[in-house]
């Protein structure tokens, strides 16, 4: 869901087409390519198409978080209700130069707290690859517990959840 939030250091708001240049930087960062995958976004036009597709997809919510003082866009929190998953999943990504400052936790925790307070979901999950230790550490800090590793196509994915339920149950 799209919500506007403020934390001590951040503003969290829905993504919009004006975020195209930021998206180019984010989706082409080393961590995104390695752990999420290449989205083949090389210019502003590609980025706008990518953002528009997100905006047009029911149940997909990308929220940009930016530094309150400078308005510098530094990361995203995602909340996705995928057709092939029973529960919505939360995710996050951050520009590498802003890592290790607690920003991803601050944004994700604030967003997750807001979603939980609405009592609309039986569970919230997160999905990552087992090699993404930074993401796993943050998920655990957010209170999500490892449910298990599952084969999805040719890929092994690690599932985490607020409640310890199998993703298919």
- Please report, in angstroms and rounded to a whole number, the separation of the first and last CA atoms in the chain: 23
Tell me, what's the pLDDT at 53?
A: 96
Tell me, what's the pLDDT at 35?
A: 86
In angstroms, rounded to a whole number, what is the distance separating the alpha carbons of residues 93 and 32?
7
- The second-level CATH assignment, the architecture, of 5-122 is 3-Layer(aba) Sandwich (3.40)
pLDDT at 166 over 90: no
The residue whose two tokens read 């929220």 is: 63
For residue 75, give the H/E element and its range.
strand 73-80
pLDDT at 107 over 50: yes
pLDDT at 85 over 70: yes
Per-residue b or e along 4-35, where b marks 16 or more CB atoms closer than 10 Å to that residue's CB: ebeeeebbbbebeeebbebbbbbbebebbeee
What value does the mean pLDDT of the chain take? 94
pLDDT at 169 over 50: no
**82: nearest Cα among 45, 117, 115, 54:** 54
pLDDT at 132 over 80: yes
Average pLDDT over residues 120-147: 95
Question: How far lies 167's CA from each of 7, 49, 106, 159, 164, in Å?
Answer: 31, 31, 26, 8, 9
* SS3 of residue 95 by DSSP: coil
Q: What is the pTM of this model?
A: 0.91
In angstroms, rounded to a whole number, what is the distance separating the alpha carbons of residues 10 and 13?
10
Q: How confident is the model at residue 167 (pLDDT cuts 50, 70, 90)?
A: low
Tell me, what's the pLDDT at 37?
A: 87
Domain locations along the chain: 5-122
Average pLDDT over residues 112-136: 94
Tell me, what's the pLDDT at 3?
A: 87
């Amino acid at each position: 869901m799209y919500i506007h939030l403020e934390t001590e250091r951040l503003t969290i708001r829905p993504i919009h087409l004006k975020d195209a240049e930021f998206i180019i930087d984010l989706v082409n960062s080393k961590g995104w390519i390695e752990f999420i995958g290449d989205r083949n976004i090389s210019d502003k036009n590609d980025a706008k198409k990518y953002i528009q597709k997100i905006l047009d997809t029911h149940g997909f919510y990308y929220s940009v978080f930016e530094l309150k003082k400078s308005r510098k866009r530094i990361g995203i929190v995602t909340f996705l209700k995928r057709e092939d998953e029973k529960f919505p999943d939360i995710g996050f990504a951050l520009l590498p130069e802003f890592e290790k400052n607690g920003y991803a936790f601050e944004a994700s925790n604030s967003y997750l707290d807001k979603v939980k307070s609405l009592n609309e979901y039986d569970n919230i999950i997160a999905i990552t690859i087992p090699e993404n230790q930074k993401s796993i550490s943050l998920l655990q800090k957010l209170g999500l517990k490892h449910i298990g590793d599952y084969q999805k196509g040719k890929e092994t994915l690690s599932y985490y959840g607020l409640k310890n339920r199998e993703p298919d149950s």
